[in-house]
Structure 1
């Protein structure tokens, strides 16, 4: 393009056509604003909406469009162009002419800083979240957290702005944020008209060596991965010399040279050679002297706190990464490694992918992070197709593990060998008879990102038979086995659930013994259940004795139950003391009950004293009850002052009740003041109630706003009720607006009800509207129920889809119901699958119903009675019905 020639766009036949046109600064600015305005109108955005889309302030956008205001900055023009889907380079060219920028005709390499995309400068992709601006999708950058090295970078940039050429090289491990730090540092230079040059083509070293002598002033020289330049065996030393010359010639400055290096390269280039050895990096060493800045591998607590604040403010990428990287602080590595890990998973060999699928399923179903190699190897085969399985070689596993061990950014690997830290516990005088078995053989750890990816993409899949067989054969940790047993049961794989529970019990799990005992109870085998409970108790599980005692109590054997509760209490169960005290009190042994209650209180559980006191109160012994309540309060019970206050109120001692309520408030329990207020209100003393509500709110108990607003509504003060409802919602108490929604619907005031609905959803409570919707339907108000459900649906409540689908079904609208069920099912709802299956069943389509019921089972929908009816012995891992098998767990 000739000097002064710029592009302009004119409409023709509904399409944009590009022409060259010479501009003065004034005409260039006018055309720039005209094209921005045309783009805004075409996208039907007002300036406020455009500002939000472009990430700019409303004032900045207003000035960019308004005649008479200064030329907008490079960053502003670039952001607006991207948001409106306009060509960034062309608008920046207009902006340069409008600013009468002499740099528009510069001959040196590079282009304006504002025209560069961070990913073109090798900033790592972070996650898979896309943002759309003007119909153009681009990868979203996570928020940036400045650290100590950013301060040094900022000083270098400021020095360059002041006219002094500077150079810095950031040294750190892979994916520690070096390139992103450089990108953030140069952004202020965009407004100053600086250019940036990234030597790259045909090779980095050749481009640098050929063009360094042409670099003009106010240019950033971008030497990312500087080993490609400075470490080149043929050109590295000459490039170092050329950069040195560029930095020390005042007439060529100011320039800013930024580079990045891994620590190994920095050490290699800066270490003096041994005496007599060839010095291959003398010029590079001189260039780097005093110009290296180290970047830490992990975020320190202060940086993590800043990242957390950005995540809480809505940064989805940081929030996602913090779920995995917070413990070790390697946040940038996680952000950079995620896309590459996903790529490695998608392109893995069939055997390697089978290992990853097995590892993903193990983690999402509850197996601990250290996965035994023997388990993964035996679990993998059924994840392979018949063709891939037939092509396995004898060394398939070794090759697959080697493939998955190759690291990506920041030392991540899809599946890496791990070394569990030994557990170091203080010596116990009474070692357990059943210590947790230790895993033998190598163990592996799945990359956190792939673990999360598996939880997101595989929840609808039930692992194949080889997975369950490998788990039963190789896993030994009771928690792993119990978790898998529960996962199998939830997926109606009853036979595997039974065997995994038994294996967990064999490896010391008292929880598994209790579960098996419960199954024996359900089957009517009381003797077998008791034997299992006693086995669990012998292994130190006092809850097993509690369960056994409860079984005796329910069977009417009070004496046997109490004996077992006492045995559990002797083994340390305070819950057993509470129950035993209750039994003694009901049996008339007040002294025995009090003794057991005091023993529980001495162990830190004041609940027994309160339980006995309430029984005394119910029996009409007010004095005895009050004495025990006071004793419980002296032991620190928060319930006792509340119950005492209620007693005083019922006895007519209003002053004493308020005194006790304030005492309870000192413990942080504001419900007593609220309960007294409710009592006063019911007795007709609204003035006294309002006084107590006010007291509770002033003491910081915002929950008091809820009944207070209700009282105002019932008194006819709708404006006062709404005022209190808004206050309550601002404090997180959304019950009040929901209650007012109900009252307004009952009164036929749909406008006011809509206003209160919006208040509830604005405070993040669409589920409260769903609770009310169910109430309205039960009351026969179908219109009101659907009104509420639609509000919740519009604000993303997944339950609302199901509710509306059921309403449509009950109203006879099968087509509408099915559409809503399918929408909910696509979003992961197992209940929606059951709803669809029910519809298929009612239509006589049993094969279609069974397919849907199987899908629900695969997703872990154990609540469905249809599964038990259809397949009483469960399903095999492949979804076929399990043949009858003899065991109490299956009922066969």
Structure 2
């Protein structure tokens, strides 16, 4: 380093570091380990007789000691006469990477291993826990090598993006943090857009990102999933392709379910909600395994033996390979949830339901307080203390370790002058990621009670209400679907008005739906404009459709360009259609090119179709080539050869579906080595089913060991059902022992379907008690599938009492459908009383499907009185479709007054189709 210009500043820097070390009660060796520096480096940094430390060393020591790094770097700059470069506001987004704390970038706090005698007093050193918790040593895995290539390319001047896809607490964010460390030494900056919201920050400032900046998009669904998601995806695309700002690096993390949503191709003629996100993510996804493989586990054991106590602690407490989940506190979170008192459990289930159905990340306290009521049984509610809610919030926000708590309070920031936003009216809470995923998985079939919907209407923002209205609609809670959408629409949200229109249209009120869509369009909803354009096009009003689609395009929605392209294609103006599709692709949405290619292929214009497919491929979307190939496969030998050529072309540029098809073709033709290579490439590109299909083909051919190896590889690539499919083939071939072994392997990894299949094998092997014990244990851990399947088998065998007990077990674990199936089976065998009993039990748990099905069966059998009674029971729980059915029955019975009354009630509850059906009946028309 240069000569010291201000020795006092260097002495002050060292004094601050040494004082903090002493206050922590740790020696220099422990500090070196915490800072991930050499022992000699730390000694020289703190020694007054040694040369001054580097900025990287100061940053590492400051973070380990939880000091203000910017102040320390300011002292270092003063000491060497460089000015305060570390603290000066250069106007560039973000901060130097070395100044970031990984926990501020949402790397999970890791479980601290129990320690005795490490503190100054000889007891546990609690000052070293909480915010001061250090990260365990990092174990590199195959995805790290792939990530490193993207980082190296950025260092060499090429902009790039990588998206790590994996379940909660699998190490995605930590992997990104480790990957950017080489760039920290080279002076790169890191920008984490999050204020006032993540999406708002990204949308406002992506155009300001400068060279040598890492854009940090942790939980990328927060950026790509909202109403601004497509604009953000397009802005990132522009950033990556803007040579004047190169190099930049975009790192993102994503859960698998969001990856599936964004990458799913729409059906022809259906809306395409994520074309820009799909094009952006294509070829940039990296799958994170849920667990460490044997190589990574061995590396972790070596690090544990050489002194990493956190890894040693994790290895002692989990044998499933899920080290990152354990270190992030997942087992303790689940234990806290599973053993919680009723009020605490109820609060967590409200939060789980809200998040899985589409509410925002931060849940207002008022919503939680109001929604929780119906999550408690009458007995539980009667037993509550006067201050039960305060106690429940105190319990549920108590940290597991560090900052990780089941529910974490999010304090509202004060109003900011530049944001134009007011301070939040009350504080909110955020559910822990791992519990959120647990809720999505284990409560997927449950419908929230009345208090949930009312609280949502009273407290949640319009963006959340739009999602919850759709969730209510698909769960047949039409009353709440209409009211939630109406509440959002009343706030002036144009997209909410468009959604309300769709609810009206589904209920048969087409004229009102059109009026609402027009209102939404006038208020600026491009969704409404595009829906109106499609409606006008189907009605043959091409000029009106074109005007509407053009308005959407002019407003910046590329779906408008796509709709215009389709309109011109349908009416024979192919040149104009191509121009529009190419414009859309240039803006980041290749969907119109793909759709035009399909339309021309189906019309017999194969040359034009392939040319459009190649244009889409050049824009980064190879799905058109795959779709064209799939269409040609249905033709003769020559067409099938053409299909293979297209698959090869798509495979060469990494299309996973094409690689999977080529792998299957090579396996069929006996070229096994090529097949495996192609399947692995497909799996790496996100199509793990290629390995599964290969494993199935090997299993059928009798190569059992090879099949199992491929299935294990598929599981490592993210396909949880690989072993189950191989086991099913063995089971069908009569090898029950072999099937059982594979089912047990899959069950041990937490696959609920495997538990159900294993229970069935036990029954087939004459071991029903073992089967029931499996089902019971699985249900107690939140997995209802085995109990539900055994309930069906018991009912078919005539054991109604046993079937009902198992169905209740399944329902308590989250699967009410078992009651519905048993009810139908009893109805068919003439046990009408038993059928009604089960249907009512299902209704008590939130599902009216059984009552409605029983009503339909009795109506078909001519028992109109019995049908009406059951339909009334369903209507009493809020099912407006059942109420509409009762209105029709009353009309048929000649009771017009009551028919009108019931139809109006149903219409007021959001289902105007009841009135439409009565009108048809009175005109002598048939109704469903």
Per the normalisation by structure 1, the TM-score is 0.50
Per the normalisation by structure 2, the TM-score is 0.48
- Structure index of larger Rg: 1
